Amino acid sequence: MKFLVITDAHLIQQDGKKVAYAPYVKEMDLWMRHVDEVTFICPDTIKGTLLAQAFQRQDFKQIGLRRLEFHTFWIALISILTVPYQFFVLCFAFAKADHIHLRCPGNLALLASIAQILFPSKKKTAKYAGNFDPNAAQPIAYRWQKRILSNTFLTKNIDILAYGKWPDQSENVMSFFTATYRRNQITALSIRDWNGPFKSVFVGAMGANKRPLEILEIIKSLTKDGIDISIDYYGDGPLKNEMAVKIDEYNLHDKVRLHGNVDNSIVTEAYKNAHFSFLLSKSEGWPKAVAEAMFWGCVPVASAVSCVPWMLGCTNKQLQREEA
């Protein structure tokens, strides 16, 4: 089988190997075990750092395309001018593929969603890693690709893997979640002392979407109220330096620790020993930080976005009572 993957995720060369964002690589390694030939269409350069991991399989092909971005006038103009070429590349690759796999959401994924309409007989899957809530406020590009792929008239022969179970979805949409651990990794839970002091963790990118600064304010407030709680931050990103400044300003060095990106085994041990895991994201798909925390008996404190209420077993009535 010739398996074609279209994604906005960067795939680059590092130390002589093809690498990409680590959690994405782990998932794609599973898909790639079951096919003969693999081709990726995706950006092949990146500015800044990448939490990278090498693919287990290195014999795949890669077609590099410019990342379609629209945050400034000139970058938007360049992106618009490259759209016809990228559309042609996609159609040419679609014609040769046996199975087309779209990784959504993203601008390249939107273009691929439009191109796939021309190939109704091709077997297709789409992994929608973002928020599939039909009522969520999202960029127009995200809303368009959800509507195109969900439309059974425009899109044929596809399974859309969407996080969470949402009402009034088309037959194209399949409720889905990502497994985090294997059965043989299940161990007895650590016994925690719920009389304090309390340990908490944050696992994720230090960016505005994850709201690490707001979590710091919570820790500051709880400490001020006499609650003995500490937090360990695991992850890197643009807000890390500002976090360090705030920790100095609040004199919370003994309560807040910034670890940056660390090996997954270290994060696992942190979950095992923590009482709480904080994740106050503005938007999510399937937040592994919530699933992993629960797996190790760590209580998640999370914002009610995307499928998080579904993950935690909350009903709409429960959420309405909490909001009231």
32/42 Cα distance (integer angstroms):
16
Q: Are 10 and 24 in contact (CB under 8 A)?
A: no
List beta partners, residue 11: 20
**Average pLDDT of the segment spanning 21-40:** 92
Does residue 155 carry a pLDDT above 70? yes
Q: Are strands 158-163 and 198-203 parallel, antiparallel or unpaired?
A: unpaired
Domain ranges of the chain: 2-176, 183-323
Assigned token pair, 281? 């994201």
Q: One fold for both 2-176 and 183-323?
A: yes
Single pTM value for the model: 0.77
Cβ neighbours around 245 below 10 Å, total: 9
- Per-residue pLDDT reduced to its tens digit, 252-289: 999 999 999 888 889 999 999 999 999 998 888 778 88
Residue 101, pLDDT score: 97
Q: CATH homologous superfamily of domain 183-323?
A: Glycogen Phosphorylase B; (3.40.50.2000)
Residue 136, pLDDT score: 78
List beta partners, residue 3: 38, 99
Percentage of residues in the chain having pLDDT higher than 90: 59
224/221 Cα distance (integer angstroms):
5
**Local structure of 277: helix, strand or coil:** strand
Residue entry with tokens 């992850």: 235
List beta partners, residue 17: 14
Do you find a cis peptide bond into 212, omega within 30 degrees of 0? no
CATH number belonging to domain 2-176 = 3.40.50
Residue entry with tokens 């190997």: 17
Residue 184, pLDDT score: 82
